[in-house]
C-alpha cells in the first residue's frame, strides 16, 4: 500500500459538524485511496460517524479533543485555548510533522490566528494570504488572493502574493506558467494607487520567475477566463469575492422567479433544464470549495462552513495536491530566486 498524504481534520468545525466532515473524507478517499486522515473532536461522536463509512476503517485515526471553537469566538480567545481544541490540535499535527496539511470548516479568523502562531510565516513572506479558486468561462478556474486576511497591503505584500498565487496555480491547476494580473480600477498603466503601480513595475521585471505578468485587470473581467492569478489586497479582494457570489445568487434567483412566472415560462424551464443544470454545477460553491492560507510553514485549508460532503471532499483534494506538490518548497524557491535577482540587480 503506497503512503499518500495525511490530512488532519478539525471534525467539529462547520455548520453540520462531524457528519459532513467525515462523509467528505470518505468521499475523497474513494477518489484517492492513498489518503489517510486524523480526525480531531469528540471521540464518541467521531467514532460513530467513522463506523458508518467502511472505507475509512483502516485509513483514519481519531484523536479526542475536549473543546471546539465556536463560529462567533474572537481569534484572541481561540488562541488562548488552542491546545485543547479540535482546530488547534489539527494545526498542531502539521507543526509536529504528523500530518501534511490541516483542514477546518470553522471560524476563519481563529483558524488564521492559530495557524500563524503555530506554523509561523515562511522566510521571505511578510504576511500570509487567503487564496481561493474562482469559476471562470475559461478551461480552468483562477486563483484570487488576498481575500480578507490583510486589509492593507504594501508593495512587497502584493509582489509576494503574486509569487505565492503563481505557485498555487502551478500546484492545483497544473498551469506551468500562470498569467498573473493585479486588480485595479483600470487597465492603463497610469491608473491605481502608488503601491499597485510600483508592484506592477517589479513584477514586469521578474520575467525569470515561472509566471507571466500581464498588467492590470478590472473587476468585470474576473470570471472571463483570461487570467490565472488575480492579486489584490484583502479589503478589495473580499469585496470583489462577495460581490461575485452575490451576483451569482441574484442571477440564479432571477431565473428561478422568471421560470415560475407563467405556464409558458414553466414550459420553457422544462426545455432549458439541461442548460440550467450545467449553470448550477458551474456556480455551485461546493465545486470550488477549499480556500487556502499561503505563506505559512505548512498547508492549511479552509472549507466553507456550509459545504456539503462533496464540498469537503473537494477541499481535501486541494490539501492533498498541495502536500504532494510540496507547495511550501515551491514558494520558497521562487522567493529565493526573486530575492537573488533583486540583490544582484541592486549591487550592479
Tens of pLDDT along 159-191?
999 999 999 999 888 899 999 999 999 888 888
Of the candidates 94, 93, 26, the residue with the CA atom closest to the CA atom of residue 65:
93
Q: Which positions of the chain have pLDDT values less than 70?
A: 1-2, 264-286, 342-348
d(CA 80, CA 114): 9
Of the candidates 142, 9, 3, the residue with the CA atom closest to the CA atom of residue 65:
9
Of the candidates 76, 74, 41, 75, the residue with the CA atom closest to the CA atom of residue 60:
41
User: Which CATH code of 3.30.1360.100, 3.40.50.180, 3.40.718.10, 1.10.260.40 fits the domain covering 126-293?
Assistant: 3.40.718.10
pTM of the model: 0.85
Burial class (CB in 10 A: 0-12, 13-18, 19+), 195: middle
Cβ atoms of 316 and 103 closer than 8 Å: yes
HSE-up of 260 (CA within 13 Å, CB side)? 6
Give per-residue pLDDT as tens, 201-243: 999 998 888 899 999 999 888 888 889 999 999 999 888 888 8
Cα Rg, the chain, nearest whole Å: 21
- pLDDT number for residue 1: 41
Cβ atoms of 314 and 286 closer than 8 Å: yes
Classified by CATH at the fold level, domain 1-121+295-324 comes out as Isopropylmalate Dehydrogenase (3.40.718)
Q: What nine digits make up the cell of 242?
A: 462577495
Cβ atoms of 89 and 39 closer than 8 Å: no
Backbone torsions φ then ψ of 149, nearest 5 degrees = -75, -30
3-state helix, strand, coil in the chain (%, to 5): 50, 15, 35
Element (H, E) at 216: strand 212-217
State yes or no: cis peptide before 146, omega within 30 of 0. yes
The single residue listed with the C-alpha cell 475559461 is 138
d(CA 39, CA 23): 12
Of the candidates 1, 4, 2, the residue with the CA atom closest to the CA atom of residue 324:
4
| Residues whose CB falls within 8 Å of the CB of residue 49, separated by 6 or more in sequence, listed in order | 11, 18, 19, 22, 23
Q: If DSSP codes are grouped into helix, strand and coil, which group holds residue 146?
A: coil
DSSP 121: B
Q: If DSSP codes are grouped into helix, strand and coil, which group holds residue 67?
A: strand
Q: What nine digits make up the cell of 134?
A: 474562482
d(CA 314, CA 318): 6
3-state SS string for 14-56: CCCCHHHHHHHHHHHHHHCCCCEEEEEECHHHHHHHHHCCHHH
- pLDDT number for residue 100: 95
Residues in a beta bridge with 57: none
Amino acid at each position: 500500500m503506497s503512503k499518500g498524504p495525511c490530512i488532519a481534520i478539525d471534525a467539529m468545525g462547520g455548520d453540520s459538524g462531524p457528519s459532513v466532515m467525515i462523509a467528505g473524507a470518505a468521499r475523497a478517499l474513494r477518489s484517492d485511496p492513498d489518503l489517510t486522515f486524523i480526525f480531531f473532536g469528540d471521540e464518541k461522536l467521531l467514532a460513530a460517524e467513522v463506523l458508518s463509512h467502511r472505507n475509512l476503517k483502516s485509513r483514519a485515526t481519531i484523536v479526542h479533543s475536549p473543546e471546539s471553537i465556536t463560529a462567533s469566538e474572537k481569534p484572541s480567545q481561540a488562541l488562548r485555548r488552542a491546545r485543547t481544541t479540535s482546530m488547534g490540535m489539527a494545526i498542531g499535527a502539521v507543526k509536529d510533522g504528523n500530518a501534511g496539511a490541516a483542514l477546518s470548516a470553522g471560524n476563519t479568523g481563529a483558524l488564521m490566528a492559530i495557524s500563524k502562531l503555530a506554523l509561523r510565516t515562511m522566510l521571505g513572506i511578510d504576511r500570509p494570504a487567503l487564496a481561493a479558486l474562482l469559476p471562470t468561462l475559461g478551461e480552468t478556474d483562477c486563483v484570487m488572493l488576498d481575500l480578507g486576511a490583510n486589509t492593507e497591503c504594501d508593495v512587497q505584500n502584493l509582489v509576494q502574493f503574486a509569487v505565492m498565487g503563481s505557485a498555487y496555480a502551478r500546484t492545483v491547476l497544473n498551469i506551468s506558467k500562470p498569467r498573473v494580473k493585479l486588480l485595479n480600477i483600470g487597465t492603463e498603466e497610469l491608473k491605481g494607487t502608488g503601491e499597485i503601480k510600483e508592484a506592477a513595475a517589479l513584477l514586469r521585471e521578474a520575467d525569470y520567475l515561472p509566471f507571466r505578468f500581464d498588467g492590470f485587470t478590472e473587476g468585470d473581467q474576473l470570471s472571463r477566463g483570461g487570467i490565472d492569478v488575480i492579486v489584490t489586497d484583502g479589503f478589495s479582494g473580499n469585496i470583489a469575492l462577495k460581490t461575485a457570489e452575490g451576483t451569482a445568487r441574484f442571477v440564479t434567483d432571477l431565473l428561478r422567479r422568471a421560470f415560475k412566472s407563467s405556464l409558458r415560462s414553466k414550459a420553457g424551464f422544462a426545455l432549458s433544464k439541461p442548460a440550467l443544470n450545467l449553470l448550477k454545477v458551474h456556480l455551485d460553491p461546493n465545486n470550488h470549495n477549499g480556500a487556502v492560507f499561503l505563506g505559512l510553514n505548512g498547508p492549511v485549508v479552509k472549507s466553507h462552513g456550509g459545504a456539503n460532503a462533496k464540498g469537503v471532499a473537494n477541499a481535501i483534494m486541494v490539501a492533498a495536491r498541495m502536500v504532494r506538490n510540496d507547495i511550501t518548497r515551491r514558494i520558497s524557491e521562487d522567493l529565493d530566486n526573486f530575492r537573488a535577482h533583486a540583490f544582484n540587480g541592486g549591487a550592479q
